[in-house]
Structures are given as C-alpha cells and as structure tokens.
Amino acid sequence: MPDASMSLGWVIVYVDDPPATRAFYMRAFGLQGGFVAPSDTYAELDTGATRLAFAAYALGEGNFPGGVQPAPLDGRPPNVEIALVAQDVDAAFTRALEAGCSERRRRRTSRRASASPTCAIRLGRWWSSRRRCSPAGAML
C-alpha cells in the first residue's frame, strides 16, 4: 500500500502586492527571501520546512471559482493566524515597530502568560510578539 501521509508545504496568503508583502515581512520579522515569480503575482519566504507564500488576488481568481475573499484593511482580522516564534520577543517587537508596524494593545500580565504586545501590520494583517499562538494573518 502506498504511503498516503502528507506534510505541510506552503501557507499561501492572498494579497494586493506579493513582492512588497514579502519585502515587508523580511524587514519586519527578519525572514529570509525565497522564490519570486517573474510576473510578481507570487512570492515566497524561506521559513523552514514550510514556505510562507504570498499570491496576488488575480491568482486566487484563477485558482478558485469566484476568487478569494480579500482581507479587510480594518475591523476584525481574518480567521487565519501565522505564528512567528522569536527567542528575544522584545527585540522582535522593536524590529517590527521600526519596520512600520503599529502597536495596538498590550495585554495584562497574568500567572500563565507574560505581557504580550500586539501590533497591526499593513495589508490588514495582524502580528503578535507572543512566543506562542500569535495572530499574524495574511498573513499572514
């Protein structure tokens, strides 16, 4: 019987400008660049075993009947999270702010979790500097 097991290869987030989104994630979060399509409709980040990719909404229209639902630029975040892990949360948060993120709120410290600043990034996506389960939607 053939091996039918699978692994996660890509997380693809549909955005207005894949190369610009890729460049922003590289600046804000220190991620390494990967493949960019010559048509600029697709761009990847090298994030380890799984690639984080950004595709143009036009590709979504070609891949899915009716296209994909664009993420809102304000209001509630999309129903997807991209969790980024950092050893030095404060330094990662500072880097994100310097790259254009804006702080949204700081959560209260509790016995279970430390203070976890959250910031919103361009394109209506979210990012949190928490070490686990951090919203980043387009996200990523």
List the domains of the chain with CATH numbers: 10-128 (3.10.180.10)
Q: Where is pLDDT greater, at 20 or 114?
A: 20
Tens-place pLDDT, residues 8-48: 999 999 999 999 999 999 998 899 989 999 999 999 999 88
Q: How far apart are CA 28 and CA 26, in angstroms?
A: 6
Gyration radius of the chain's alpha carbons: 16
At which residue do the structure tokens 């880097």 appear? Answer: 95
Q: Is 97 helix (H, G, I), strand (E, B) or coil?
A: helix
Q: Is 5 exposed, middle or buried (0-12, 13-18, 19+ CB in 10 A)?
A: exposed
What single letter denotes the amino acid at residue 134?
Answer: S
